[in-house]
């Protein structure tokens, strides 16, 4: 904040002095009136004594003239001190709201002999899938920021969303710079705390992860029936948001969404979302690799836990292009969502490659709730139970609130076989039961059947059971 100038102080001084005269005038006038009345007091007859029923008049004490002058003097001195830099004027600071997430997973897996031969032994896992601390805030309404770290992923801690943004700009809308998810795929761009299943689908193999870059995005129209986003990113940032390379490693990514149906009267109890995304990526160091887990994984993948089931290995390539189509439909307690993603790779020393993935799922709230929608970003939002879970003893017996209960089923597929690359084809079928104790606490149970076809072994399968204790704040 700029320091008040001398002219400002002098004008304020004159104003306060004038206000002081106005404020003190009644006191001075009253003081003169009292003196005038005192000279004639002796000639007046004695007032009658009040009766017992008379109500006494209460006279509020008034500040003395000296006290009022002292107050005005202090205010003038304060302005002079500010003008001379003796007093610092407090400056508003950005807002700050801390948050976080905790996922505790137990996974147990059964493999047939062919699956062990194809991918190796998979271990049962009991670990922290995510353990996050985050913060968000804004400065002077148009600037916002996010910062976050995960203590369960590789790097311990590793970077999450760390960015600075300016909102409501002409033409550009909102501009964000930092480390965050590229605008590609409904499933990936939606916060994991709002997703239906423990892990994203097999098609997520092709969705870019968090990378360092800059993006412009905005909602369309007063009713926000659509969104657009476009950005430039480094295509292979590490877990700390860094990318050091002079060979390739750039990406241009864009996404558009539209809401042809949205029931405003019910707050979105019915809506239809469709969208499309595209990214062009020059390969960092002229190399690329795709791999995927069977929709179950440890917090930090390594020599123990569940290994990747499909893997292309390192491919020498100049660039790749990816395109995706997405839809989501809510009709009360019923929810449908699906995506398809195709990837074209310009292989060095070989023919062009094509990989693809897809998923579709249905979920239903047994207790009647519905999935909600974030119009500003074109993503799925938080579930709000009609009644939070509780179970307490009362004078009339035990009282219980049940929270929200959701059942879901998903099919997903990823194909990493193309020409000379034999990464394998994986199909998954998943059944899930989700218990939302409240809007921020969940327990999830899942059963996954994974069918793998990967050279040289061929067909194999595995079954995975899992439970997650999940909370965010």
Of 320, 374, 384, residue with least CA distance to 186: 374
Angle between helical axes of 65-83 and 6-39 (0-180°, round to 10) = 170
Tokens of 240: 């700390």
Instruction: For residue 369, count other CB atoms closer than 10 A to its CB.
Output: 21
Rounded CA-CA distance 354/351 in Å is 10
Residue 272 placed within a domain: yes
End-to-end CA distance of the chain: 34
Of 300, 337, 306, 470, residue with least CA distance to 412: 337
Position 9 scores a pLDDT of 44
Tokens of 144: 């916002």
- Shared domain check, 211 and 104: yes
Of 136, 107, 135, residue with least CA distance to 122: 107
Question: Following CA atoms 218, 200, 373, 225 in sequence, which dihedral angle do they give, to the nearest 10 degrees?
Answer: 40
Residue 45 placed within a domain: no
Rounded CA-CA distance 343/322 in Å is 4
Is the C-alpha dihedral spanning 219, 221, 226, 230 positive or negative? negative
- Shared domain check, 110 and 25: no
Burial of 278 (0-12, 13-18, 19+ CB in 10 A): middle
Position 41 scores a pLDDT of 39
Position 317 scores a pLDDT of 97
Q: How far is CA 180 from CA 212, 244, 369, in A?
A: 7, 17, 30
- Shared domain check, 118 and 69: no
- Shared domain check, 223 and 255: yes
Position 27 scores a pLDDT of 47
- Shared domain check, 106 and 84: no
> Across the strands, what pairs with 316?
287
Position 45 scores a pLDDT of 47
Residue 151 placed within a domain: no
Residue 418 placed within a domain: yes
CATH number at residue 187: 2.40.160.10
- Shared domain check, 105 and 84: no
CB < 8 Å & 24+ apart, contacts of 372-377: 372/267, 372/268, 373/259, 373/262, 373/268, 373/271, 373/273, 373/330, 375/219, 375/224, 375/225, 375/227, 375/259, 375/262, 376/219, 376/224, 376/227, 377/189, 377/217, 377/227
- Shared domain check, 84 and 223: no
CB-based burial, 205-233: b 16+ in 10 Å, e otherwise? bbbbebbbbebbbbbbeeebebbbbebeb
Residue 337 placed within a domain: yes
Range of the domain at 304: 100-128+183-472
Query: Distance of alpha carbon 163 from its chain centroid, rounded?
Result: 12
Query: Distance of alpha carbon 100 from its chain centroid, rounded?
Result: 10
What is the C-alpha radius of gyration for the chain, rounded to an integer number of angstroms? 34
- Shared domain check, 404 and 281: yes
Position 236 scores a pLDDT of 84
Residue 136 placed within a domain: no
- Shared domain check, 121 and 69: no
Position 83 scores a pLDDT of 67
Rounded CA-CA distance 400/388 in Å is 9
- Shared domain check, 195 and 80: no
Question: What is the number of structural domains in the chain?
Answer: 2
Three-state SS for 353? strand
Residue 148 placed within a domain: no
Rounded CA-CA distance 81/76 in Å is 9
- Shared domain check, 187 and 78: no
Residue 55 placed within a domain: no
Q: Which helix (H) or strand (E) holds 51?
A: none
Query: What are the pLDDT tens digits along the chain (473 aa)?
Result: 444 444 544 555 555 555 555 455 444 444 444 444 444 434 444 444 445 444 455 555 666 778 878 887 787 777 777 666 666 667 788 999 999 999 999 999 999 999 999 999 999 999 999 999 999 999 988 999 999 999 998 777 899 999 999 999 999 999 999 999 999 999 999 999 999 999 999 999 999 989 999 999 999 988 999 999 999 999 888 777 777 767 889 999 999 999 999 999 999 999 999 999 999 999 999 999 999 999 998 877 667 789 999 999 999 999 999 999 999 999 999 999 999 999 999 999 999 999 999 999 999 999 999 999 999 999 999 999 999 999 999 888 899 999 999 999 999 999 999 999 999 999 999 999 999 999 999 999 999 999 999 999 999 999 999 999 999 99
- Shared domain check, 80 and 206: no
């Amino acid at each position: 904040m700029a320091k008040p100038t001398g002219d400002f102080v002098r004008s304020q001084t004159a104003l306060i002095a004038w206000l002081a005269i106005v404020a003190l005038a009644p006191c001075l006038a009253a003081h003169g009136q009292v003196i005038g009345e005192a000279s004639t007091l002796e000639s007046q007859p004695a007032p009658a004594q009040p009766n017992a029923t008379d109500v006494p008049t209460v006279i509020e004490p008034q500040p003395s003239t000296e006290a009022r002058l002292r107050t005005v003097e202090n205010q003038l001195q304060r302005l002079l001190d500010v003008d001379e830099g003796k007093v610092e004027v407090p400056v508003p600071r950005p807002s700050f709201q801390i948050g976080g997430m905790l996922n505790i997973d137990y996974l147990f897996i059964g493999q047939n002999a062919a699956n062990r031969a194809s991918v190796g032994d998979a271990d049962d896992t009991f670990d922290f899938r995510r353990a996050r601390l985050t913060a968000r805030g804004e400065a002077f309404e148009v600037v916002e920021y996010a910062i976050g770290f995960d203590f369960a992923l590789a790097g311990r801690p590793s970077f999450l969303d760390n960015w600075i943004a300016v909102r409501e700009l002409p033409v550009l809308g909102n501009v964000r710079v930092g480390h965050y998810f590229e605008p590609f795929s409904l499933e990936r761009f939606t916060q994991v705390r709002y997703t239906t299943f423990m892990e994203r689908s097999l098609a997520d193999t092709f969705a870019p992860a968090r990378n360092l870059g800059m993006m412009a995005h905005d909602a369309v129209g007063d009713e926000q029936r659509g969104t657009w986003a476009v950005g430039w990113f480094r295509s292979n940032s590490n877990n700390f948001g860094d990318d050091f390379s002079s060979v390739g490693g750039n990406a241009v990514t864009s996404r558009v969404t539209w809401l042809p149906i949205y029931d405003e009267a019910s707050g979105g109890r019915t809506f239809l979302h469709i969208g499309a995304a595209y990214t062009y990526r020059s390969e960092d160091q002229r190399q690329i690799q795709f791999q995927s887990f069977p929709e179950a994984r440890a917090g930090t993948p390594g020599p123990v836990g569940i290994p990747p089931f499909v893997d292309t290995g390192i491919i020498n390539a100049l660039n790749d292009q990816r395109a995706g189509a997405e839809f989501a439909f809510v009709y009360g307690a019923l929810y449908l969502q699906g995506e398809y993603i195709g990837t074209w790779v310009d292989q060095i020393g070989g023919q062009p490659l094509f990989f693809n993935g897809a998923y579709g799922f249905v979920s239903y709230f047994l207790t009647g709730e519905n999935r909600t929608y974030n119009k500003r970003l074109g993503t799925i939002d938080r579930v709000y139970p009609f009644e939070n879970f509780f179970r307490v003893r009362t004078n009339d017996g035990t009282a219980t609130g049940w929270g929200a209960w959701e059942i879901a089923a998903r099919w997903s597929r990823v194909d990493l076989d193309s020409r000379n690359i034999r990464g394998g084809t994986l199909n998954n079928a998943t059944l899930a039961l989700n218990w939302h104790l409240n809007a921020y606490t969940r327990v999830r149970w899942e059963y996954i059947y994974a069918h793998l076809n990967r050279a040289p072994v061929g067909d194999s399968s595995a079954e995975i059971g899992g439970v997650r204790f999940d909370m965010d704040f």
